[in-house]
Amino acid sequence: MARLELRNVVKSYGIYEAVRGINLTIEDNEFVVFVGPSGCGKSTTLRMIAGLEHITGGDIVIGDQVVNRLGPGKRDIAMVFQNYALYPHMSVRENISFCLEQQKLPKAQIDERITRAADTLHITELLSRRPGQLSGGQRQRVAMGRAIVRNPKVFLFDEPLSNLDAKLRVQMRTEIKRLHQLLPTTTVYVTHDQVEAMTMADRVVVMNGGIIEQAGPPQELYHRPVSQFVAGFIGSPSMNFLNAKLESAGDGLVVVLDDGSRLAVPASRTSEYMSHTGKRVVFGIRPESISSLMPKPGFETIEATIDLVEPLGPETMIYFNIGPVSLCANVDPESEPRPGSRMPLSFNMNRMHLFDPAGGRSLSSW
């Protein structure tokens, strides 16, 4: 268990910079998830931490040691891969014990570690089987057991759930989170799935184009995104975005959408946006902040024609247009929306976001 630091880390492939000078400190026992679209640099960053990729510049520090020149085997890390990388000709016990035998640990100590890991992961009855006899979830547990027995300073997970079906993914992400609570270890987890990131992490690191766009607790990224990219990437369904202009209205402000709709900015939010009066903005609002409920203070209502309905049991997603832009809203199933019908929709302006259309940065003062 150790603190992990990335100090101005760069990775270049010729003239292409995959990772562009990132700085991040991951505290001892912290569970940090890197998330972002394909090609953003998250897996490359993980491989540099593991020693599987040489860094072009900067330092990687584990504990008090700069590990730039150390090979993977000398960094005291354990990695769980997407494909599990189990030896097919070995039993589960042999797969888990292999790295310990390479370290020439006493047999009694190896047996103790295997027993403890198998009990923790509920795979004791599988120890005599081979990987080909296991389900995807069982193979995942074996791969995790092989990492656990090493008692590493840092755990690294490289999209470990991407080969599992949807139900098993939910189950296994719960298992990994439970495991971290039982065996707190500094953990770096890479995924393209923002739901995994939000549900598992102490802190989420959103990467984009080789840089860290924002890092923080899941709820902070959800409620206070620093950019339109983060706002659109975190949350499912994604945040709605509309081009607009911010105008004055008496002592307050109003967001004027391109179709002419006017949405008053709550008085509590006026001061943070006053300096942008008269400017073009991007208006953002999440689907769950648009409802079919009766409006309250700080809500603005627009009547819209429903284009598409997606019933999901406890909630219903509807899609509608404002001008040429399709928006999504999360409405009460009991309102029984129908495609083609008109419905008044309440926008919770207390949860609105405004972004700079040029650079995509949030105009909020957080």
CATH of the domain at 349: 2.40.50.100
Q: Which helix (H) or strand (E) holds 173?
A: helix 166-182
Residue 365 has pLDDT above 90, yes or no: no
The last residue of one of the domains, among 193, 227, 261, is 227
Tell me what the mean pLDDT of segment 345-358 comes to.
95
pLDDT for the residue numbered 245? 97
Q: CA gyration radius for the chain?
A: 25
The last residue of one of the domains, among 194, 227, 260, is 227
pLDDT for the residue numbered 225? 97
The pTM (predicted TM-score) of the whole model is 0.91
Higher pLDDT, 366 or 144: 144
Residue 290, in any domain of the structure: yes
For 76-118, write each residue's pLDDT tens digit.
999 988 777 888 999 999 999 998 888 888 889 989 999 988 9
Q: How is residue 324 annotated by DSSP?
A: T
Provide CB contacts within 8 A for 348, sequence distance 6+.
Answer: 285, 289, 290, 291, 298, 299
Peptide bond preceding 160: is omega within 30 degrees of 0, i.e. cis? no
Question: How many of the other CB atoms lie within 10 Å of CB of 33?
Answer: 25
Residue 1 has pLDDT above 70, yes or no: no
Distance CA 247, CA 250 (A): 10
- Asked if 168 and 191 sit in the same domain, the reply is yes
Residue 282, in any domain of the structure: yes
For 119-143, write each residue's pLDDT tens digit.
888 899 999 999 999 988 888 889 8
- Asked if 223 and 246 sit in the same domain, the reply is no
Mean pLDDT (the chain, rounded): 92
Closest residue by Cα to residue 353 from 235, 218, 241: 241
- Asked if 195 and 253 sit in the same domain, the reply is no
pLDDT for the residue numbered 366? 66
Least confident range from 60-64, 139-143, 204-208: namely: 139-143
Its domain, for residue 36, covers 4-227
- Asked if 256 and 332 sit in the same domain, the reply is yes
pLDDT for the residue numbered 45? 97
Q: Provide the number of structural domains found in the chain.
A: 2
For 284-293, write each residue's pLDDT tens digit.
999 999 988 7
Torsion of CA 168, 52, 142, 41, to 10 degrees: -10
Share of the chain above pLDDT 90, in %: 70
Confidence of residue 42 (pLDDT cuts 50, 70, 90): very high
Confidence of residue 315 (pLDDT cuts 50, 70, 90): confident
- Asked if 258 and 223 sit in the same domain, the reply is no
- Beta bridge partners, 330, equal 317
For 333-346, write each residue's pLDDT tens digit.
888 889 999 999 99
- Asked if 136 and 199 sit in the same domain, the reply is yes
- Beta bridge partners, 214, equal 206
